[in-house]
Each structure stands twice: as C-alpha cells, then as structure tokens.
Amino acid sequence: MIRYTLFVFFFLMLLSCSNDDDSSSSSELSGTWSLINVSGGFVGLDHDFNTGIVVWVFNESSNTVSITNNNTDDSIEDLLPTGTYDYSIETVGENREFILDNINRGNFEIMDNQLTINEQFRDGFNFTFIR
C-alpha cells in the first residue's frame, strides 16, 4: 500500500511540473521596448540612452518591428534608423537568435522585462531594452 501511495504521489508531482526553463515566450516580445544601453564592439563602447530615444514596437501577428530612432548622434551605435522591419527568432542549439531585416543580430533573451540582443560573439554589440 505504501508503494502504491508513493507511486501516485510521485506521478502527481511529475504532472504538476511545468517547463519554466524558457525565460521568454514569443508573446512576451509584443509591445514597446526602449533601447537603454549599447555596449561592446571592438572599441568597447558603453553608451546609455534615455528612455524613448530609440523605441521598438513589436507586432507578432505580422512579425514586424517598427523602430522610431530619435538619436541624432551618428557616432553612437543604435542599430537601425526609423522604419518597419521584418524579424524572426530561430533556435540554434541552446540559443535563440534574433533575425532582423534578414540579418542575424545575435542571441536573444527576455528576462524580467528586459530584452537583450547580444552579437558580441562576432565582436558586435550588446543591445539592452526595457519595457
């Protein structure tokens, strides 16, 4: 009887578990994100942006992102000018990669209302956004 009870207990525990390892789902990407920091690159850039200077609005139903870029300093990396671009997310091994305008922009992660796109694997930049 004890074995049966233990078996049922462990079986119910297994059923109640969920896969929380994926810190983001695609629906978490929808909405408005402000670029707040760009760092890295060959020269070791580290620049903070005020919220609202560079804004990305993701539309998951059309897989587009509308970028409003009000950065007037051309010497500071801000990725793309104002416009609407196609995007996709591809899973490669353990990594989720962000494809923007048919260019792989790097690893993609959302955690605690912070979006990070990291292209430092090729001496690129690390882009940090918040909601």
Give SS3 for 7.
Answer: helix
Q: Are 66 and 84 in contact (CB under 8 A)?
A: yes
Give SS3 for 12.
Answer: helix
Enumerate residues 6+ apart whose C-beta is below 8 A from 91.
97
pLDDT score recorded for residue 120 = 72
- Extents of the domains making up the chain: 30-130
Q: Are 45 and 125 in contact (CB under 8 A)?
A: yes
pLDDT score recorded for residue 113 = 92
Residue 13, phi then psi, degrees to nearest 5? -65, -40
Q: For each successive 10 residues of the chain (131 residues), what is the average pLDDT?
A: 54 48 59 96 90 97 97 92 97 91 93 91 88 94
DSSP 14-57: HHH---------GGGT-EEEEEEEEEETTTTEEEE--TTSEEEE
d(CA 114, CA 101): 22
How many CB atoms within 10 Å of residue 115?
A: 23
Q: How many CA atoms lie within 13 A of 125 on its CB side?
A: 16
Architecture of domain 30-130: Beta Barrel (2.40)
